[in-house]
Structure 1
Amino acid sequence: MTTVSKHSSMAPYLFRAYYDWMTDNELTQFIYVNASIEGVAVPLNHVDKDGGITLNIGSTAIGGLSLGEDCITFNSRFQGKIHELVVPYIAIKAMWDRNGEVYFAMEDELTLPTSDDLQDESVLQDNHKQVIEQQPDEPEKSDEEKPARAKLQVVK
C-alpha cells in the first residue's frame, strides 16, 4: 500500500461538503480540533487535557468564516473576548451536529493500493479476507424470526 501524495488533500473538499450539507439542513456544526498541530491558533486556556478543543462553528456562533485551501479561519467569542481562530484541515479530527445525528471523522491519511498490489492476486485475496473478517457475524435466524415472504396477488 502507498500513501497518496501526488494529489492535493481531499480534506478541504470533504469538510466543505459536510459543512455545506449541514448548513443546508439547518444543523449546527461542531468540530474537534487537535490543538497541538502546527498552524492551529485557538485560545490555549480552553484546550482539554488530551490537547484538543471542541468548537461550535455554526453560523450563529462565529463570524468571518473563510474555508481556505489549507485551513479554516473565523472569529469566535471566548469569555466575552473575540478571538481570530485558524484551524488547518489536518487538525480537524471530527465534525458533528448539535443533536448528534450526524458524525464525520476525518482520517489522517488516505492509503491506496499501488499498481503492483493490484497485479498481485495474493494481496487482493488478503485484503478481501480482512474485509470479510471485519464484518460482524450475524446469528442464524429461526423460521419464526424470518420475515414472511411477500405474496403478489392479481387484482382485476
Structure 2
Amino acid sequence: MQETSTKPYFMRAIYEWCTDNGYTPYMAVKVGGAAQVPMEFVRNGEIVLNISFGATSSLKMDNEAVTFKARFGGVSRDISVPVENVMAVYASENGQGMAFEVDLTESISEPGVTSAPPEQKSKPSLGLAAVSSATTGSLTEGIQQNSEKEQKKSEKPSLKIIK
C-alpha cells in the first residue's frame, strides 16, 4: 500500500489556520499538467488564487485536487488544481504559511512555459514553513518582501522553516 502524501493535509491545515485567524488564504499554483485556471491571469507559468470563503464557491480540498468556482472579471469560472501543482498556501496579510516542492517537468500545458531546472533551487523566505526547500523565484521574492516588512514591524517569531 502506497503512503498518502502529507501535502494536502498541510494545505488544509494552513487554510484553516488562515480562516480561524481572520486572514485571507491564498494559494500559489504552478500552471501545468491538469491545472485548470484562467490562463489570462497566469504570469511566468504561475498564478496566485484567493481561496477564501468569500472569494470561492463550492471549495473542495481533497487529497488529489483543489476545486472551486470563482469570479474572474465578473465571469464565473471552474478552477481545478492538482495537489502536485500547489506551490504554497499562505495568508496574504502577513505571508505566513507553507511552501511546497513542485516538479512538473514532464507536463506543461502553457506553451513557452518551462519549469525551473532542479539545480536552480532557492531557499524559502522568512515567514514560510516549507515541506521542501524548492520554490520558484518570483513567488519567493514577493512573499519574502511582505515577510520582511512584517518582521520589521513586529519582530515576533513566525512559523519555522522545515528542511
> TM-score of the superposition, structure 2-length normalised?
0.59
State the match for 2:39 in structure 1. Answer: 44
Contact 2:15 2:90 in 1 (8 A): no
Aligned length, in residue pairs: 103
Q: 1:53 to 1:108 in 2, by over 3 A?
A: closer
Aligned-pair CA distance for 1:101: 4.3
| Unaligned ranges ≥5, structure 1 | 110-156
Cα deviations across residues 46-70 of structure 1 (Å, max 9, x unaligned)?
Answer: 110x101011111111111011220
Choose 1 or 2 for highest CA Rg: 1
What secondary structure sits across from 2:81 in the alignment?
strand
Distance 1:103 1:25 in 2: 12
Cα deviations across residues 62-89 of structure 1 (Å, max 9, x unaligned)?
Answer: 1110112200100111111000100111
Matched, 1:16 2:12: yes
What secondary structure sits across from 2:57 in the alignment?
strand
Distance 2:102 2:40 in 1: 25
Paired letter, 2:61 = L
| Unaligned ranges ≥5, structure 2 | 104-163
State how 1:57-96 maps to structure 2 within 5 Å.
57-96=51-90
> TM-score of the superposition, structure 1-length normalised?
0.62
